[in-house]
Homo-oligomer: A and B are copies of this chain.
Amino acid sequence: MVDIANRVWNHKWKIDPIVRSLIDTDFYKLLMCQSVFRNRPDTQVTFSLINRTKSIRLADLIDEGELREQLDHIRSLRLTRGESTWLRGNTFYGKRQMFRPDFMEWFENLQLPPYHLEKHDGQYELTFEGSWPEVMLWEIPALAVLMELRGRAVLHEMKRFELQVLYARGMTKLWEKVETLRQIDGLRLADFGTRRRHSFLWQDWCVRALHEGLGDNFVGTSNCLIAKNRDLEAIGTNAHELPMVYAALADTDEELAQAPYQVLADWHEEHSGNLRIILPDTYGTEGFLDRAPDWLAGWTGIRIDSGDPVKGTETAIRWWKERGEDPTKKLVIFSDGLDVDKIAELQAHFAGRVRISFGWGTLLTNDFRGLTDGDALAPFSLVCKAVSANGRPTVKLSDNPEKAMGPADEIARYKRVFGVGEQERMEVVV
């Protein structure tokens, strides 16, 4: 029999909210937010949505009213008591009270700041302005909302059996990946797929599939809400926005050259162990490591997030050896455009030479490639980045010029300051 009360309840909602919690976000966002809250709380920043896949005309696919409803819903969210309890009481990376009381008090009173939305040439111009610790928390939910609304626009055209078979195929496809990953000895893998997930429920399903399928080889999820709900480890360290904003704030070329190290000096003071992971590629990995202070070689590991991952890792191994460190003790985290083949290949290549871990993102939580007509659900490359800080533009070079961003003259200046020469161009899929 139809459960009438339940059905009435389900039909009461004006919208089906995509993001329902302020901790439905990546763990590293909260770590970085606390660092910014401590070290640079008054910085004024602008974050912007950037769709690197121009062929996906988001403003044609997604209704502006629905987008606003979802963003407005996110602005209505507040940290709940249970969420605060979990953040305050949990052990992250073996450490209790990772989040300091002053930060938690601020977070408990946080409402995300207003957004600015316009349509331009088939794309949405979505920007967030305000103080850095507030604005930065828009990144993940904004991306998740746009990815899921695009998916919903496609699903809206599908009928009942089509939908059932679509998800049956999606589940089969992921489970076959799990079966492949099971063959890899010593695998350590985490979910990094919040920002470009197909949907929250799908990410949750994928995480549970990995947990059942990989057992202890699945080390956790970057998504705090799922980590909390499923009693898993929350995983993550830091990202490009820290060096990008620190660099934009530099007054001279000398300060600019030092900015990426200043970020890690601040981090060094706050965190130890597995949280001391270098992200070296913001302004070119090679130059960054060459000029790095010695204390950085003592850090736990490195995250490879652009360019050829084999080349990047070999560079890091060489650098550790030069600085008298034992690479086999070092952790290398791969997180750029991973899928099972690349994971297997990198694991085979570096097993025994370094400790390895994988942060699997888009192709974990949003791989519906080949499952619909015209591949209408294929993932695409959407980012939400700090584009200015205290009125100055930010710049990112990375190890792949396809991922570079910023004004041309500033890119030229950064290349000169950081001594970046010719780079290998690689297609950005996701």
Contact = CB atoms under 8 A, between A and B. Distances in A.
Interface of A: 1-2, 4-12, 16, 152, 155-156, 160, 163-164, 166-168, 199, 201-202, 205
B167 A4 contact: yes
Nearest to A163: B5
Nearest to A199: B4
Contacts of A12: 155-156
Contact of A10 (B1, B2, B9, B10): B10
A166 B6 CA distance: 11
Given A4-B167, A167-B4, A160 B9 contact: yes
Contact of A11 (B2, B4, B16, B202): B16
A16 B7 CA distance: 11
Nearest to A155: B8
Contacts of A4: 167, 199, 201-202, 205
A228 to B, nearest CB: 17
A170 to B, nearest CB: 9
A167 B4 CA distance: 7
A2 B201 contact: yes
Nearest to A1: B205
Closest CB pairs A-B (n = 5): A5-B167, A5-B164, A5-B163, A11-B16, A4-B167
Contacts of A7: 201
A213 to B, nearest CB: 15
Given A10-B10, A12-B156, A166 B205 contact: no
A168 B3 CA distance: 11
Contact of A166 (B5, B155, B202): B5
25 contacts: A1-B205, A2-B201, A2-B205, A4-B167, A4-B199, A4-B201, A4-B202, A4-B205, A5-B163, A5-B164, A5-B166, A5-B167, A5-B168, A6-B164, A7-B201, A8-B152, A8-B155, A8-B163, A8-B167, A9-B160, A9-B163, A10-B10, A11-B16, A12-B155, A12-B156
A202 B4 CA distance: 8
Contacts of A5: 163-164, 166-168
Nearest to A15: B11
A166 B155 CA distance: 34
A9 B156 CA distance: 8
Contacts of A9: 160, 163
A255 B372 CA distance: 68
A168 B2 CA distance: 13
A263 B199 CA distance: 62
Nearest to A159: B9
A345 B414 CA distance: 94
Contacts of A155: 8, 12
A62 to B, nearest CB: 15
Nearest to A7: B201
Given A2-B205, A4-B202, A11-B16, 19 more contacts: A2-B201, A4-B167, A4-B199, A4-B205, A5-B163, A5-B164, A5-B166, A5-B167, A5-B168, A6-B164, A7-B201, A8-B152, A8-B155, A8-B163, A9-B160, A9-B163, A10-B10, A12-B155, A12-B156
Contacts of A160: 9
Best-surrounded residue of A2, A11, A16, A199 (most CB of chain B within 10 A): A11
Contacts of A152: 8
Contacts of A205: 1-2, 4
Contacts of A16: 11
A11 B163 CA distance: 12
